[in-house]
Structures are given as C-alpha cells and as structure tokens.
Amino acid sequence: MTRPSHHFQSTVGSKVVMALSGLGLMIYVIFHMLGNLQVFEGPHALNAYAAFLRDMPILLWTTRIGLLSLATLHIVLAIQLTLRNRHARPIAYAVHEYRQASFASRTMAASGLVLLLFIVFHLLHLTAGVIDPSAVDRLDVGGHHDIYGKLVHAFQNPIIVALYVAGQLGLGLHLTHAVTSSIQTLGLEHAAFNRLFKAAGPTVALVVVLGNVAIIMAIFLGIVRG
C-alpha cells in the first residue's frame, strides 16, 4: 500500500516538473513569435533567419527533439494529475463554487486540448506541408526556402486565418493561467512581487497572442504582401 506521504511527494514532484516543462515551452513560444515578427521586415529578413536555423541542423534538431520531449512530458503529467485528482474525489461537488477560480483556470483542460489540436494542425500545415503542399518547395531569389512567401500564401485563405486565430485564443487562454500557476508551484512568491507574479500570465498571453495575430491579420488585410 502506498503511503499518503509518498502520494503527496509524487503529486508535488509531478506539479513541479509540469511547471518547469510548461515554462520551457512558454519561452520557446515567445522566441518563436519574435522570430516570425521579422515578416514585417520583408522576405529577406525572415528567409535569412530561417536559413540561419537550417544551416545549424544539430541545434535545430536538438531544439525540435527537446520541444517534443517537453510537450510530451507536459501532456502526460497533465493527464496523470487530472486523473489523480478525480480519483481522490470520485464524487463531484453538488454545487460548484468559482469565487476564486478564474475562467482560464477552469478551462485549462479545454484550452490545452484546443492548443494540442492546433499544434498538430500547424505542424502538418506550415512545417510538413501536408495540408497545403503547394508552397513546400518554393524558393526565394536567394535560393533560400521562401518562408515569407509560404506565410503570405497561407494567410490569404480566410479559413486558415480563422483556424489560426482560434488557435491563438486557445494559446492565450492557456498561458493566462499556466504561467502564474507555474510560478506559484515553484514557490516563487513574495509579498512585494505577488501582484507582478499574478499579472505575469495575462501579460505573457496578451503579448504572444497580439504578436501572432498581428502577423496573421497583417497578411490577410494586405498590409504585408508577397
């Protein structure tokens, strides 16, 4: 029989690892957005950036494998913790009280699922070119992969735009609670900084969503053109 203390330690340990993996993924999301914002500088800047990454295959594949590992670990732990919480309280509350819990915290499972589906779609669409193979082998005038042209082609389609905006809303909702929750889980709390920590999640979510949606809508509205 498992002792309660062991169960507690396992739960706490899982939450800490989940928080660390989540923060690692958050850092990648921010840098990914910053890299993509180079679309506003024109095709040369974005395509040169993409070529720079491709010219370092060890770094590129190490990053990809690391991200896949973090994402898998994060998802598995999220499922385990959810099932563990349900097992600890098999009978649902007769009346739900949401005075402390925010909408973002109550919908973490739903936003996480939306985010997972969006990531799979994004990889099949822009990375692997399975959904739209028409721009996979496109090259720019310098002979680099035309990432700029691929984005412009993609976000002229209103259906694609709607799917990506929906994905960004799911990402923003997830980040809103996840970042602040991760900080609390890691014990990074102090009376002088509690307001700052509490605002970290919504702030990161707002910056990331606005940055990504700005790219999508600028292309769709013709501000950024091929």
CATH of the domain at 107: 1.20.1300
Examine the pLDDT at 94 and tell me if it is beyond 50: no
Rounded to an integer, what distance in angstroms lies between the CA atom of residue 143 and that of residue 34?
24
The predicted model gives 145-172 an average pLDDT of 96
For residues 216 and 222, what is the distance between their CA atoms, to the nearest angstrom?
Answer: 10
pLDDT over 60 (residue 1): no
pLDDT band at 38 (very low <50, low <70, confident <90, very high): very high
pLDDT value of position 83: 87
In a domain, 133, yes or no: yes
What pLDDT is recorded for position 27? 97
Judged against a pLDDT cut of 70, whether residue 29 lies above it is answered with yes
Question: Residue range 32-55: average pLDDT?
Answer: 95
Confidence (pLDDT) at 97: 45
**For residue 3, what pLDDT is reported?**
52
Residue 19 to residues 6, 184, 220: CA-CA distances in angstroms? 20, 9, 35
Q: Tell me the average pLDDT of the chain.
A: 88
Model pLDDT, residue 35: 96
Alpha-carbon span 97 to 209, nearest angstrom: 30
**Which has the closest alpha carbon to 215: 54, 35, 27, 60?**
35
Assigned domain for 96 exists: yes
Predicted confidence band of residue 118 (pLDDT cuts 50, 70, 90): very high
3 state SS of 186: coil
14: tokens are 């899982």
Predicted confidence at residue 4, as pLDDT, reads: 46
In a domain, 111, yes or no: yes
> What are 67-84's pLDDT values in tens digits?
999 999 999 999 999 888
CA distances from 187 to 15, 19, 125, 181 (A): 11, 11, 39, 10
Share above pLDDT 90 across residues of the chain, in percent, rounded to a whole number: 66
Residue 35 lies in a domain: yes
Q: Which stretch of 39-53, 80-94, 182-196 has the lowest confidence by average pLDDT?
A: 80-94
Residue 200 predicted with pLDDT over 60? yes
pLDDT at position 176 is 96
Domain count, the chain: 1
| Host H or E run for residue 103 | helix 103-106
Task: Provide the CA 129 distance to its chain's centre, in angstroms.
Answer: 20
Domain enclosing residue 126, as ranges: 4-220
Would residue 225 count as lying in a domain? no
208 falls within a domain = yes
The reply to whether 226 falls in a domain is no
